[in-house]
Amino acid sequence: MPVDYAHDMLDNNQTCQDFLHTHIIKTIHMKFPL
C-alpha cells in the first residue's frame, strides 16, 4: 500500500478502521482458509 494512500486513510479515522478491519480479515482468510 502506497505511503500517501495510508496517510490519506488516517485523515478519516472511521474509514481507516474499516480498511484495517477488512485487511485483517482478508489476511486471516488467506492464511487460514475456512
Residue 9 grid coordinates: 486513510
Map residue 31 onto helix, strand or coil: helix
Residue 33 is which amino acid?
P
Looking at residue 18, its pLDDT comes to 83
Looking at residue 17, its pLDDT comes to 79
Name the residue with higher pLDDT: 24 or 4. Answer: 24
Looking at residue 1, its pLDDT comes to 47
In this prediction the pTM is 0.42
Residue 3 grid coordinates: 505511503
Looking at residue 8, its pLDDT comes to 62
pLDDT in tens, 5-23: 555 655 666 676 788 888 8
Whether 27 has a pLDDT exceeding 80, the answer reads: yes
- Please work out, in degrees rounded to the nearest 5, the angle formed at the alpha carbon of residue 21 by the alpha carbons of 19 and 6: 35
